[in-house]
Homo-oligomer: A and B are copies of this chain.
Amino acid sequence: MSKHTPSPRSAATGLVGPDLASLAGLLADGTRAAMCLALLDGRAWTATELARHTGVAPSTATGHLHQLVSGGLLAEERQGRHRYVRLAGSDTAEMIESLASHAPLRDTPVRSLTDAHRRRALAHARTCYDHLAGTVAVAITEAMTERSLLTWDYGPALSEAGRVWLRDLGVEDHRPRGSRRAHVRTCLDWTERRPHLAGAVGAALCQHALDDGWVIRRGSSRVVTLTPHGRTLLHDQLGITEETLTSPDTDAF
């Protein structure tokens, strides 16, 4: 509710309900939104890193982080003189993704050649909190669908064949224990505008891809690049074409 009529308003407006506006307000600022998007890489950042990344003064960043933490979106962990923050949990990440995938794409002008490289690398393969995203991830998802490892008839789900396939690959047990976190979930890819695999299975697959050296992180960004091992594996196992697997430029970082 707003300025002029603080008291008599709420009677008409709402009874009881979620305080949507306060939550949305946290993400309604460009700087805070950029922070959350950066944290979608699933790792912990320090306050200074986020300040530099978003281009604001450290003091400004402090204020924003306070709001995000006390709003429950971020979890913080202090280590010595550092303040590390990360997204509060996978449900928070999923909420932000859900919002982000509905948001209009903002086409930031490309300023330099490395900008262009980075942009293409990001579109090709990256992490999205705890799972893979980008062209490669979409291709994996679609290839799994073609091979009936993934079915869509009753909502996205892993088939029996899919379970076996994952087990044979050595992907460790991905059943959510106790929690009701969706086993298979899809997430609209920003760049592709097509769904990619998320949820517990998506997270397990991503973890395995990193552990087994299919992909490696580039620097401290969300970008990952395919290794030769990963390339042949995805080609042999899922029939993904070389063209799709080849990144336009892998050395932008």
A interface, CB within 8 angstroms of B: 1-2, 5, 8-34, 36-37, 52-55, 72, 91-92, 94-96, 98-109, 111, 115, 118-119, 122-123, 152-158, 175, 180, 182-186, 190-191, 195, 199
Query: What would 7 more interface pairs be, CB under 8 Å, given A16-B191, A24-B26, A92-B102?
Result: A12-B52, A13-B55, A16-B123, A18-B105, A24-B33, A155-B156, A155-B199
Q: Which of these, B16, B100, B183, contacts A107 with CB under 8 Å? A: B16
Given A24-B28, A36-B20, A105-B19, also A53-B12 (CB < 8 A): yes
Asked if B10 contacts A108 (CB within 8 A), the reply is yes
- The 4 A-B pairs of least Cβ separation, nearest first, read A1-B30, A24-B27, A28-B28, A18-B103
The complex places the Cα of A205 from the Cα of B172 at a distance, in Å, of 37
| A100 CB contacts on chain B under 8 angstroms | 17-18, 20
| A25 CB contacts on chain B under 8 angstroms | 24, 28
The complex places the Cα of A95 from the Cα of B199 at a distance, in Å, of 17
Given A24-B28, A28-B28, A184-B154, also A14-B34 (CB < 8 A): yes
The complex places the Cα of A153 from the Cα of B123 at a distance, in Å, of 32
Among the interface residues A8, A17, A102, which one has the most CB atoms of the partner chain B within 10 A? A17
How far does the Cβ of A109 sit from chain B's closest Cβ, in whole Å? 8
Q: Which of these, B8, B34, B37, B185, contacts A155 with CB under 8 Å? A: B185
Asked if A23 contacts B103 (CB within 8 A), the reply is yes
Asked if A20 contacts B52 (CB within 8 A), the reply is no
How far does the Cβ of A91 sit from chain B's closest Cβ, in whole Å? 7
The complex places the Cα of A122 from the Cα of B17 at a distance, in Å, of 10
